[in-house]
Amino acid sequence: MGTNPNPNRRSWVIWREEGKYPNLIVEILSDSTGKVDREEKKQIYQDIFRTPDYFWFDPESLEFAGFTLISGQYQPIAPNSQGWLWSGQLGLYLGLSANKLRYFTPEGELVPTPAEAAQQAETQVEQERQKSAKLAAKLRELGINPDENL
């Protein structure tokens, strides 16, 4: 999205991003910040930042809403049949899965978290290892040493 990736970034600091405002904001609401996030920050993101997509999520109440900037005004994003909201900036849906805010592909597939992706890769490697071991055992049954160069 036109910035250098920084996995340790916890917030957006305009002057560190060469004056660029974010294209997408996902605000996590809390009892202490919810009113400000829904009203004052929404107005700032609309009028000053001009952020194209703005979402908020309350992990306690599971309140979830999204807005897209149209002609300078935030318009609510209509949910699809699963209750997910489309982000044109990401090209992904945002929605709830197991009471957590998650990303979904346009085809409806859950986008794995980095930890989930690592686990999936580890599982795939283990399955391939087991398959290789079975094939090696079968070759040995046939009198072929799979450890020798063929």
Query: How far is Cα 128 from Cα 84, in angstroms, rounded to an integer?
Result: 35
pLDDT of residue 6: 65
pTM of the model: 0.74
Q: Where in the chain are the domains? A: 14-104, 112-150
d(CA 57, CA 66): 9
pLDDT of residue 3: 55
| pLDDT by residue, tens only, the chain of 150 residues | 555 666 676 777 776 777 788 999 999 999 898 899 999 999 999 999 999 999 999 999 999 999 999 999 999 999 999 999 999 999 999 999 999 999 999 999 999 988 887 888 888 888 898 898 898 888 888 888 888 865
Instruction: Tell me what pLDDT residue 133 has.
Output: 84
Predicted pLDDT at 139 = 87
